[in-house]
Amino acid sequence: IPFSCIYLEYIFQLLSDFMRQKLLLPGKSLYQALLDSVTLCNDSVKLQIVSEKNKVPLLVEIYAIDGNIFRLKINEISPLKSRYEVPDVLIKNLPLRAQKETGILVLTCANEDCKLHITANPFQIELESKGETVLSVNTNGLLYFEHLQPPPQNRCDISYIPQCSVCDAENQEDLGLWQEEFGSFLDIKANGPSSIGLDFSLHGCEHVYGIPEHAETLLLKNTSDDDAYRLFNLDVYGHKIHDKMGIYGSVPFLLAHKPNRTSGIFWLNSSETVVEINTKAHVPSRSPPAITKQRVVPQTDVRWMSESGIIDVFLLMGPTPFDIFKQYAQLTGTQALPPLFSLGYHQCRWNYEDEQDVKTVDTGFDEHDIPYDVIWLDIEHTEGKRYFTWDKKKFQHPERMQELLKRKKRKLVVIIDPHIKVDPMYALYSQAKKKGYFVKNRKGQDFEGICWPGSSSYLDFTNPEVREWYADQFAFKSYKGSTDILFVWNDMNEPSVFKGAELTMQRDAVHHGNWEHREVHNLYGFYQQMATAEGLIKRSGGQKRPFVLTRSFFAGSQKYGAVWTGDNIAEWSYLKISIPMLLTISTAGISFCGADVGGFIGDPEPELLVRWYQAGAYQPFFRGHANIESKRREPWLFGDENTRIIREAIRERYTLLPYLYSLFYRAHTTAEPVMRPLWVEFPKEQETFGVEDEYMLGNALLVHPVIEQKATTVNVLLPGSDEVWYDFRRFRRLDYSGTLKIPVTLESIPVFQRGGSVVPLKTTVGRSTEWMTDISYELRVALDSKDFAVGELYLDDGHSFQYLHKKQFLHRKFTFHKNIFSSSCADEIGQYHTKCVVERVLILGVQKQPTSVTVSLQDGKDKEVVFTYDAKTSMLTLEKLLLNVGADWEIHIK
């Protein structure tokens, strides 16, 4: 089906789905709070609100959570049946202190920094921090809640009138209240409409971010009625750029930023959701008339609308960007610490033909001296698209193939999708069929749709029993031909249903617990990745970390592995848009993300391919991928010169692995994004707020990929008036900030190290990450304007959970201060033995040549250090150090 036709149908349904809410215009809220209904518990306050239209009360619950978070829940008091609440979000509530005033209820956080004011009539909520209004709820009176209804006996018996209705009972069917047509599909709504909505005002903010996934700018834009941000996971082949319709993943998390505060809204709802944004000038209501002109400030109004479920929203008060990341991780979890091999380079296409093809490609990397860690197999490796099987002609000896890869210390990833071929002779299908593990249609039969194998049924991953059974399928005795170097790629799990409405599952399909698909749609891929990760862990007896890549994702997916941006196109515009897409995903908690290098669809010209490799080398997930109809594009197929440049980009990635792995440890323990927008590191520098063509990799490296064809210069913003920057390759110090025109050639892309940082590197590379375990380290020290620098190195065995269970890890801190460079333990709990040494230290920004350099060891002995000084670059090089990376030592520079 042409996607343009699907898109037009989507627009029609979207208008139908939320038209009732759109009839409710900004103004005084129809709801008022009943202060006499207020009850205070140890961990919450509860009260009722009632609409003047339908007089049906709703229950409001408010929780104050440790760490400057408020939770607001609004639900029916006595629903016809339970409404869906997204499971598996564990939080800790803190006691509230409350006092009643005239028409207002005031709630105070435990730390007394934040207060929450509830106004009774109209019902509104205002969050205040240190006397400043940060965020308000229902300011525009757009709270909307459709109550579940018994089905009408006949058309004239319809009793439900939407609270904002301008229509009568006779034309309610036109608004899709009880059933809705989508092309040839009919969506039956057994209990009528159930949509919800609420508006929020972010005071003083005109810069908002988040709510992936869209092929859009980093800064969220103002929306119109037919151009709102949509969160609804869909299989969109060759997705359009600068389109808000939503693609493979959904994270309903929005961040707002201004120079003195970052705040966040986490809308916990897994049904189709639409977000409207409107930034405008605003006069605070408390401003005296005499200073009104001076008090005009920006304000961003955000309206959330979901098809079903309840209102369950977390308001994160920051105040810093890193506080927001921690608060969000407190709710949804941190990024799983990936196995080290998964940070190397991955080689994939749809499809490597057979075992000989795999062997040839693997050998090609060695022959061209290009490191890589993982080769991937797509759907053609299976027996007729039956997952957990092998094509008997093309992959006759899968274990032997994996043994050859294992000898080279490399890994294999295979694709496993959620659709299961309808075939009674296929053991996986027959077992799942017998156990009743498939999603049902509204008549109670197994839901069947068309996907790669033809007629397929879909495993119901929302069922914990199904997830446990599915996890067991990865056991070596079940998954014949698999070994411990085989890892997994979950694709098509939006879920994709060919010939389905919008190429996905019908909304009235039925899941575990009798929940309709409309309630859980955006969670489906999340649950498959969860089950897959658990399967790989169980396969290893709980000893080894899994690697699972998923295309569909939701809030919390970071706990289970990596994501990528889906089916992009081999065009310059897709390279360009990949940067804001990855930055948005990263700030929404999922650090392990990447885009297909070269573009999945089509054939990239050599220059584009080179530039994409250079960008991907400095991004969290690094995979080259191509469509089945694309020409072969292994890195050595584009001429000797391009091969050399691509080789250098990939090798540069491997030298960076110690820094990257340490960043992932930070993401895992403190929720700091690996790849982050400039404004995160420079929250007071307004010129950074909209920058999306460059980014920080951790806090030390600024990366500006070249994203324009035939570029000879790029404009690079080096933020911070008091910052010092260094060219990462030429070591040249830049004592000025602002936007600089940097000359570029095809050789490399601009990368700068921030003064005040220490970046750990490997001195050389091996054929894969496992070949590099004992390769020595180089520490690159970049001094700031006060001749200070600090950095860290995290290392463990790279593959097991021993770092967690037995504290087998090293976490080292490096500090340069007063001409002493020292190594100390950053975490006394960790203990890990390594043969690795620090062989070389480069110190950038040393103003004069020292007379001597000595190193002091733990045994009290000092020894002279061999050094060279480059006056042109002000770089001091210390070599042949052979300092144990796990020991304390000091280098004295005189």
Length reported for the chain: 894
SS3 202: strand
Residue 519 annotated to the active site: no
Q: How far apart, in Å, do the first and last CA atoms of the chain sit?
A: 73
Q: Which of 166, 256, 240, 251 is nearest to 204 (CA)?
A: 256
Q: Which of 392, 393, 389, 356 is nearest to 375 (CA)?
A: 356
Spatial CB neighbours of 811, under 8 Å, sequence gap ≥ 6: 665, 792, 793, 794, 825, 826, 827, 830
Asked if 239 and 216 count as a contact pair (C-beta separation under 8 A), the reply is no
Rounded to whole angstroms, the Cα distance separating 457 from 432 reads: 10
Q: What is the DSSP string of 641-682?
A: HHHHHHHHHHHHHHHTHHHHHHHHHHHHHH---SEE-HHHH-
Residue 491 annotated to the active site: yes
| Gyration radius from the chain CA atoms | 28
Give the DSSP H/E element, type plus range, for residue 512.
none
Asked if 675 and 620 count as a contact pair (C-beta separation under 8 A), the reply is yes
SS (H, E, C) 543-557: CECCCEEECCECCCH
Considering 206, 323, 491, 652, which one is annotated as catalytic?
Answer: 491
Strand ranges (DSSP E) for 503-573?
Answer: 510-511, 515-516, 548-550, 562-564
Rounded to whole angstroms, the Cα distance separating 516 from 307 reads: 12
Spatial CB neighbours of 271, under 8 Å, sequence gap ≥ 6: 84, 306, 307, 308, 309, 518, 519, 520, 521, 522
Q: Which two tokens stand for residue 266?
A: 């986490």
Residue 113 annotated to the active site: no
User: Rounded to whole angstroms, what are the CA distances from 865 to 484, 788, 822, 851?
Assistant: 44, 21, 14, 11
Spatial CB neighbours of 772, under 8 Å, sequence gap ≥ 6: 654, 657, 762, 765, 766
Spatial CB neighbours of 87, under 8 Å, sequence gap ≥ 6: none
Rounded to whole angstroms, the Cα distance separating 237 from 602 reads: 12
Spatial CB neighbours of 756, under 8 Å, sequence gap ≥ 6: 724, 782, 783, 784, 788, 789, 790
Considering 180, 199, 301, 494, which one is annotated as catalytic?
Answer: 494
Rounded to whole angstroms, the Cα distance separating 430 from 550 reads: 25
Rounded to whole angstroms, the Cα distance separating 632 from 617 reads: 20
Asked if 360 and 352 count as a contact pair (C-beta separation under 8 A), the reply is no
Rounded to whole angstroms, the Cα distance separating 177 from 753 reads: 57
Q: Which two tokens stand for residue 850?
A: 């020292």
Asked if 496 and 453 count as a contact pair (C-beta separation under 8 A), the reply is no
SS3 content of the chain, % helix, strand, coil (to 5): 20, 30, 45
Rounded to whole angstroms, the Cα distance separating 335 from 483 reads: 26
Rounded to whole angstroms, the Cα distance separating 549 from 490 reads: 6
Q: Which two tokens stand for residue 333?
A: 């979890």
Considering 199, 276, 534, 567, which one is annotated as catalytic?
Answer: 567
Q: What is the DSSP string of 8-43?
A: HHHHHHHHHHHHHHHTS-SSS-SEEEEEEEEEE-SS
Kindly tell me the burial class for residue 477, based on how many C-beta atoms sit within 10 Å of its own C-beta (0-12, 13-18, 19 or more): exposed
Dihedral sign computed on CA atoms, order 590, 595, 597, 601: positive
Catalytic residues: 491, 494, 567
